[in-house]
Amino acid sequence: MAKIVMKFGGTSVADVARIRNVALLVKREVDAGNQVAVVVSAMSGETNKLVAWTREISPLHDAREYDTVVAAGEQITAGLLAVALNAIEVPARSWLGWQIPIRTSAMHGSARIVDIEPDLLNERLAQGQVAVVAGFQGIAPDNRITTLGRGGSDTSAVALAAALKADRCDIYTDVDGVYTCDPRIVAKARRLQKIAFEEMLELASLGAKVLQTRSVEMAMVHRVPVRVLSTFDADNGGTLLCDEDDIVEKNPVTGIAYTRDEAKITLLKIPDQPGIAASIFGPLAEAGVNVDMIVQNVSEDGRRTDLTFTTTRSELDRAIDVIRKAAPQIGYKDLISDNNVAKVSIIGIGMRAHPGVAQTMFKTLAEKGINIQVISTSEIKVSVLILEDYVELAVRALHSAYGLDAA
């Protein structure tokens, strides 16, 4: 007998028939003698609708009320799945974040899970009752409802598995595992049987939304065995998240990710002197603007140069506002912003041992006539910023160039 957490995403619970299908998958695990906690997302499209309504009423709404609204989608699916389970004689009850409780930070809209109280749930699981937990939500120190950021039900599931000391956490979604690239964009993408936590962390944070980044962090820290599986073909496929040491053949590139949520700001003719970077990035940090890639040119005359950095599209207006206010301290001549850009990244733990990996990327993009605007690297990834129009072309070309195409 094992204790397991099963998580079902939006498409898996998109309508009543699919909720019934999920109930059957849960029943199978219960019939096999397992204790089961299930985490559900809102029905697909539901969260988008709730976000849009909130923004429509007021773009500058209170984040606490945003959370009250957008957490509602998960309440519905948790209740419906509990009803569906009871209807097929599997004892079950729904749990909202505050009822467990799942305590989070007060950062409404993207709260972090701080602590999950396991006793109540464990007691019920031991009695043979399935716990159907609303994903994506928790409770702040002041008792207000919080949400965990888009895609946050993955994190709810992994955190719950850690708190319950579950034997495994199965993430059921609309693809049968983690692929070398988003299979919606690259038809030749291949499913990976295993992926190292470190690689999955990079893939997720660089745009592969199959798992929320924080869920991977959580799995890595708490050593939770996580599998990604298909709800619609549960007996086939799957990808296991594992330690680097469990991967025998370390390819230079394991996966490719991309994100369109990028914007670029260039400051022209800033003084080339100590303290200038601090005068730009200090105020941005204070305003909570996330800065990702940065390049600064060498000045020709040693006096003035240009500096480019990227942030997310949703933060672009705020970033421009901050920079304009700090203009007297920075002393730039002009500001150019551009959100017609996207970031493409190659990721692989084998990169550490294989020189020349980045060069293949640059050459491949050059052959397609794609200009690289900014580059950033880490030990196991290379990212480039390019014109958004070329994302799909770039991703497919790189997928072939690194030998990732399915036969």
For residue 172, give both structure tokens: 């059921």
Question: CA 316 → CA 136, 262, 301, 327, 405, distances in Å?
Answer: 26, 9, 31, 16, 35
Spatial separation of the C-alpha atoms in residues 122 and 102, rounded to whole Å: 14
Q: Which does 175 bind (CB under 5 to 8 A by kind): Mg ion, ligand ASP, ligand ADP, none?
A: ligand ADP
Does 66 participate in binding ligand ASP (rule CB under 6 A)? Answer: no
Alpha helices in 165-297, H assignment, sequence order: 197-205, 213-222, 276-286
Question: CA 237 → CA 232, 371, 376, distances in Å?
Answer: 11, 37, 33
| CA torsion angle 378 381 385 386 (round to 10) | 150
CB of 171 to ligand ADP, least distance (A): 7
CB of 341 to ligand ASP, least distance (A): 24
Binding mask 76-115 toward ligand ADP (x if CB under 6 A, else -) reads ----------------------------------------
Q: Which does 184 bind (CB under 5 to 8 A by kind): ligand ADP, Mg ion, ligand ASP, none?
A: ligand ADP
Q: In what order do the strands lie in the sheet with 130-134?
A: 92-95, 130-134, 35-40, 3-8, 168-173, 226-230, 239-242, 194-196
Q: Which is nearer to ligand ASP, 9 or 97 (CB)?
A: 9
Cβ atoms 123, 95 nearer than 8 A: no
CB of 154 to Mg ion, least distance (A): 6
Q: Please provide residue 241's backbone torsions phi and psi, each rounded to the nearest 5 degrees.
A: -85, 130
Q: Among the candidate windows 138-146, 207-215, 267-275, 369-377, which touches ligand ADP by CB under 6 A?
A: 207-215
Sign of CA dihedral 385, 45, 177, 114: positive
CB of 68 to Mg ion, least distance (A): 21
Spatial separation of the C-alpha atoms in residues 224 and 32, rounded to whole Å: 21
**Binding residue for ligand ADP (CB under 6 A) from 72, 105, 149, 174?**
174
Does 182 participate in binding ligand ADP (rule CB under 6 A)? Answer: yes
Q: Which of residues 268-327 bind ligand ADP (CB under 6 A)?
A: none
CB of 7 to ligand ADP, least distance (A): 8
Residues lying near ligand ASP in the complex (CB under 6 A) are found at: 9-10, 41-42, 47, 73, 135-136, 150-154
Residues lying near ligand ADP in the complex (CB under 6 A) are found at: 9-12, 41, 151, 173-175, 178-179, 181-184, 203, 208-210, 255
